[in-house]
Chains A and B, each alone.
Chain A
């Protein structure tokens, strides 16, 4: 981990879904509304829930998820809210596959994008296990949360955390944030909220889900992709929040895939050589043309 890495702790139990963080992000980073295609496809404003953005995109670097859980008779309900963004992974799949160096690790441990180096190949889009990065059709480049790099350089912290009215988002040194998260989980457990655990780092907590469809299931802290510099306190299984339960780096496939390709190429080479040695003549042609002896290349 980068020494003195900065990041954010997202305590989902404190989120009220006010979306002030989304607004602050849009405002500080001067992000426009979704593109026209998104508007046509009704992705710009869903109107199916209080979640009005649906997912992260090239112009929505932060997205407050509304997870609405109702019992079948609708007498029992719970809203889980989570302010989502780039996790600035310690082992970032996007950064690992970037073929131009456009994605890079900053001095704060976050993952930023050199916009003038990005070629818009979208390989990082497919490599991110969280579906964070998005291609911007207008600029032909990719975008995601850059953890307010400009604000971090001046010591201001992130715009979203600054605007959060409930301290659901806290910006700071990752080591300090981990200590804060551990204390918060202990506090919630002491209050009987044993659902609480940390997604991103293994701080040694475990508990049992007390509400919703997954009631009774065991949950425990999980360190994913080497740790997340933006990590979460969750109250249900990761999949409930749209997070992968075991995110992986795309590089896991590189050596095996190249190996299979190499073996296949070798078999093809042998097959190709054999093809010119043992020719399968068409039945009507068999015997029509006596096989010639191999000739020297002229």
Chain B
């Protein structure tokens, strides 16, 4: 075994889940920002209900990360310079060459911003006792939502850039992990919006979700093709194209490519209606659910691809 490859604990399931829920929160917020500023009344209603999700999802991500790292107080060292690290100047810690540092600040701001759609969701459902006016203004201000969308997309891309800036097989073999992660994050957001639109019978919004899913899955397909081609050209694609270990290749191809990209792409492009037993499996609720599974499979398989490379 090469000595310069990660130990298995680096890529445990908890890390996959952390990345998935944080990415989903970012993707949903991206959809909300679009719906609230450029959408119609029906879109904003779907957006308002989706507003219940980003904040709790970020909370779940934080809890998982805390459990993973063991001590919550340690997180403070990511933000404030620990007195023991006297080599670094200033009260706030920033290592300019560490993507994790930038990511910490981005996620911190994004986590705080998720409160806005959450409060808007409460307002929309009549559960907010005060501040209706300011919450509504914040949640629908185009400039504010643009800033929120930027932080959401930065959060979505964070894990990908993080994996890219390592010395691990697959993770660092291409430059496009950041792009892949942000696209899959948006894909998750639109998939969740599709489920919500379907359940709420919001037909106009469902139409927007279909167009969005079509464009995003096309973009994801192009990036995945470039990603795999790049790995093949470098001769390091075995973890993803072979069946070496731990279901990495099946999860990638069936989950990430099949469920998250191809199935939504085919359904949204052709408008095909598929019945399985009595279930309309081409409905946005089904397509969205399968796409979410695929997004999780994407994160899981990429995270574990480094381990599969070792086994290979």
- Residue of A whose beta carbon sits closest to that of B157: A261
Q: How many contacts between A and B, using CB within 8 angstroms?
A: 251
Listed stretches B208-216, B238-246, B289-297; interface member: B208-216
Contact residue among B5, B81, B211 (Cβ-Cβ distance under 8 Å from A131): B5
Bound form: Cα–Cα A98–B44 in Å: 42
Bound form: Cα–Cα A272–B156 in Å: 15
A3 within 8 A of B: no
A119-B75, A275-B208, A279-B207 known; A128-B69 Cβ under 8 A: no
- From 79 to 107 in chain B, residues with beta carbon under 8 angstroms from any chain A beta carbon are 81-82, 84-85, 87-88, 93, 95, 97-101, 104
A7 within 8 A of B: no
Number of B interface residues, CB 8 Å? 90
A265-B153, A275-B215, A297-B140 known; A288-B203 Cβ under 8 A: yes
Q: Is the CB of B3 within 8 A of A242?
A: yes
Q: Is the CB of B165 within 8 A of A251?
A: yes
A128-B167, A268-B219, A276-B35 known; A104-B211 Cβ under 8 A: no
B115 to chain A, nearest CB (A): 19
Listed stretches A132-140, A145-153, A154-162; interface member: A132-140
B114 within 8 A of A: no
Q: Across the interface, which residues of A come within 8 angstroms of B168, CB to CB?
A: 126
Contact residue among B30, B74, B84, B182 (Cβ-Cβ distance under 8 Å from A264): B182
Q: Is the CB of A279 within 8 A of B204?
A: yes
B178 to chain A, nearest CB (A): 3
- From 57 to 103 in chain A, residues with beta carbon under 8 angstroms from any chain B beta carbon are 84, 93, 96-102
Bound form: Cα–Cα A194–B216 in Å: 58
Q: Is the CB of B161 within 8 A of A276?
A: no
A101-B95, A253-B165, A268-B183 known; A273-B3 Cβ under 8 A: no
Q: Across the interface, which residues of B come within 8 angstroms of A128, CB to CB?
A: 4, 167
Q: Across the interface, which residues of B come within 8 angstroms of A172, CB to CB?
A: none
- From 5 to 51 in chain B, residues with beta carbon under 8 angstroms from any chain A beta carbon are 5-7, 9-10, 30-31, 34-41, 43-44
A179 within 8 A of B: no
A130 within 8 A of B: yes
Q: Is the CB of B3 within 8 A of A131?
A: yes
A-binding residues in B (CB < 8 A)? 1-7, 9-10, 30-31, 34-41, 43-44, 69-71, 74-75, 77-78, 81-82, 84-85, 87-88, 93, 95, 97-101, 104, 136, 140, 142, 149-150, 153-154, 156-157, 160-162, 164-168, 171-172, 175-183, 186, 190, 203-204, 206-212, 214-216, 219, 223, 268, 271, 273, 306
15 interchain pairs (CB within 8 A)?
A102-B77, A104-B87, A125-B7, A135-B7, A140-B71, A242-B3, A261-B178, A265-B153, A268-B219, A271-B215, A271-B219, A276-B39, A276-B40, A279-B210, A282-B271
